[in-house]
Structures are given as structure tokens and as C-alpha cells.
Amino acid sequence: MNASHELSLAGKSQMPDHVLLTPETCPCDKRSDFTCNVCDGGLAICSVCGKVEAELDEPCVAKTHRYSYSQISTYASCPTLYKFRYEDSLVQIGESEHDLRFGKAWDAAMNALYARGGGVVLAKSAFIESYPEREYPSALPYWSPGKSFASGLVGITEYARKWEVDDSWWAVVSTQAREAHETDDGDSRTVVLDLVVRDKRDGLIYGVDNKTTGKYLDSDFWLQFDPHSQVRQYVDHLQRQYGQVGGFYINAASFRHRTKAYTPRKGPDKGVQLPAGDWRDFKRMCFNPNRAALQAERENFTSWVRKIEADRESGVWSYNTNYCKRGPITCAYHKICESGYQWPRDTELIEANYTQRCTRIAANGERCWLKPEHEGEHDPTRPMRADYEVDLSEDEVEEAEV
């Protein structure tokens, strides 16, 4: 290790408890953003030079707050919802995770399809391994009856056939890359890119985000992405990483179900009887926000982060009653809010229907179901209540579109 990057024991003892490396506390001469590394090994590492590291006497207990699009979106919808989900790590026992798991299985299939040496066979194997048929609910959620195991497998073949020519122009740069994006104001956001490609026709970089949905891929579906904070954040990240970028694709796969045969009166299938059962549709749309839009998104992101940090500092989180019930959908934390409960003040009352859940990933790729402070290996086994029942009041259907 270069002598200029060594961190002495004396220097270590003078560092803050959470070992936050800043340009003032780190001997690295490169002045940029630094992050507190709250890792399992208890190391403090300069995020710029990557060479400064020192063992701590005790593991770091502070949290590094890296904000994702989902976190910001959740807070904007309801700050109390954000607190229960991300600060308190509370999840409802028995809530349906089918949409989320189906979306992750589709992502796993796409990763295998676009990986070096990949293909449809490997994609189907990845889909099956990620979400085995035996783990599907006996009755699919009423909002996504088309996301069945069989439809997912058939969809992989149809998808590959649909985009065979278009994909031949793509040179894959990376798949499922999880990266930290540091903003100009020093805030840190998590960016997970499903696919980054270079188009052989124009030589430009494009980002791709896979979306599974139970909706029609019509004009109403695409309107939600322009403007869209996630798209803007991805494009901003890609420009900083690669320079000039051609745009960002929303790569949508719709899984729907017909209860009976249907003959459209308009559209490409006009006059053709469409059979009952599962059916699929695949479409892509490229978005390319301009500089002004990207700058507006940076300022928007910073504004939301400041609001979250102010609430965390004060310990007071506002709520939005308009988000408690939206049509047939009821917020997963409605039982807590309607009773005026607060975590951890009303722990015993809340734990009748909710449990704290570790945020780490278990060996099988699923999120751990143990308590956040647990010791040993992560365990994805779901807890069960004696009077277990499936709760279909999932609060965030859109969140499951990954």
C-alpha cells in the first residue's frame, strides 16, 4: 500500500464513531465524495482511492443512507409509509409477494438470456430456479392473474423470438449492475441497471430496464415514464459513467389473462377471435431526457433527501391519508396507522401483524426474513401466524414492476 494512503492507529482513534471518511479525515489527496462503509468486515474505505482501510475495534453501527428511486417515491407518497418500510424494516406477515417474485424471476431470465453464452434454455432454467412452480400461490392475486408459471416460461420463448433482430444490434456491456451514484451535493443513491448495451448502428450506450406488468402496453402505460424520476436518474448516471448516451429503454413485458374468448373490433387483431387463457405482449420505448430535465431531477432528488433527513433528525414523520386506500388497494400499514401506533413505542401491538425484516439477501437470492440484528447466516424462510391468511391488500402494485 502506498505510504500516502496509510492510516495510522493514532489517526484511526481520532475518526468519528461511524468512521465517515471525508476529505478532511482521509489522507487521500483526491478530493471527492466519500462514503461510510458499514460492511460486515468492519472496514473503513476511501470511496475514491479504495486503498485506505483500517480495522475497527468494533463493527461500525451507523447506517449509510443510500437512497433508491423506490425509497424517494415511497416517501413522496407518504412519509410514514417510508418510515415503517425503510427505517423500521416492518413487513406485514402474510402479505403477497407474488408480483415481486415473478418480476425477479423474469429479471433472472433476462440476465441469463443476455449473458455471454446465454440463451432461451438457460433463461428458462434461471426463471424456474428463481421462482419454482411449487412456491406459486394456489390462487394468483386478482390484480395479476396472468403472471403464472406456465405463462412466464412461454413468455421467454416469445420474447426472444420477438426481439431477435433488434437484439442482434446490441453489444451487451453489463447485466444487473448495482452501482452507487454520488450526486454533486454529496448524496448517495443506489442505481441498479438491468442491462447496459452499445448499439452497433450508432455506437452509443443505452440503458435498459425490464418491467413486468399486468397492464395493457398502450399509450396510458407509456405516459407514466415521461417525465419519470427513475428514467432521468438512470440517464444521468449513464452519462457520468460513459459520456454520450443514446437513451434509456423501458423493456416491458405484459402478462394478462382472458376469462373467455374475445374478438377485437379494432387494432391489429381486428376480427380475429383471441382464445381464453394467458396471453402476453412485449414492447419497448426509448426515452432521452435533455440536460434541463436531468438538472431538474438532481435538484428534485436533493430536495427529497433533505426532507427525509430532516424527518429522521426530528423523529417526526408526516402522513398522507389519501394514500391509505386507493381504489381496491389498501396500504399494507393501514392497521398500524388507523390505531395510531408507532414503532418502537407500540412494539407488542404491532408485532401481532407485522415483523421486522433484515434487509440483506440470503444465499438463494431472496431477502432474509430474520430480524435486522440477527447473528449467523441469513434465512429466507417466511414467518407464519397460527391464523395465517393471505392478505391481498398489497400497498404497492407498481413497486412489483421490476
For 348-366, how does the pLDDT look when each residue is reduced to its tens digit (9 = 90+)? 999 988 988 887 766 665 6
Secondary structure letter of residue 368 according to DSSP: P
Residues 122 and 268 in one domain: yes
Residues 34 and 79 in one domain: no
Residues 327 and 392 in one domain: yes
pTM of model > 0.85? no
Query: Which of 64, 82, 106 is the C-terminal boundary of a domain?
Result: 64
Backbone angles phi, psi at 209, to 5 degrees: -120, 120
Identify the pLDDT of residue 383: 63
Whole domain around residue 13: which residue ranges? 1-64
Assess if residue 220 is contained within a domain. Answer: yes
Exposed/middle/buried for residue 80 (C-beta within 10 Å: 0-12, 13-18, 19+): buried
Instruction: Extract the residue ranges of the chain whose pLDDT is less than 50.
Output: 1-64, 385-402
390: helix, coil or strand?
coil
Alpha helices in 97-194 (DSSP H): 98-114, 120-130, 149-162, 164-167
Identify the pLDDT of residue 249: 97
CB neighbour burial string for 234-243, b if at least 16 within 10 angstroms, e if fewer: bbbbbeebee
Assess if residue 309 is contained within a domain. Answer: no
**Total domains in the fold of the chain:** 3
Residue 177 grid coordinates? 449492475
Assess if residue 115 is contained within a domain. Answer: yes
Cα(first)–Cα(last) distance of the chain, in Å?
41
Identify the pLDDT of residue 144: 86
Residue 345 identity (one-letter amino acid): R
Residues 253 and 208 in one domain: yes
Residues 23 and 90 in one domain: no
Question: In the beta sheet, which residues pair with residue 171?
Answer: 198
Residues 74 and 57 in one domain: no
Place of cell 444521468: 236
Query: Which of 22, 45, 64 is the C-terminal boundary of a domain?
Result: 64
Identify the pLDDT of residue 361: 67
Query: Which of 48, 64, 80 is the C-terminal boundary of a domain?
Result: 64
Residues 189 and 323 in one domain: no
Dist. CA 365–CA 379, nearest whole Å = 10
Residues 329 and 350 in one domain: yes
Dist. CA 95–CA 369, nearest whole Å = 13
Residues 106 and 82 in one domain: no
Residues 166 and 27 in one domain: no
Residues 113 and 245 in one domain: yes
Dist. CA 181–CA 392, nearest whole Å = 35
Assess if residue 296 is contained within a domain. Answer: no
Assess if residue 297 is contained within a domain. Answer: no
Assess if residue 260 is contained within a domain. Answer: yes
Dist. CA 30–CA 27, nearest whole Å = 9
Angle at 55 between CA 50 and CA 359, to 5 degrees: 75
Residues 86 and 122 in one domain: no
Residue 114 grid coordinates? 443476455
- CA distances in angstroms from 168 to 114, 180, 200, 201, 208, listed in the order given: 11, 30, 9, 11, 15
Residue 218: name the closest of 264, 285, 142 by CA. 285
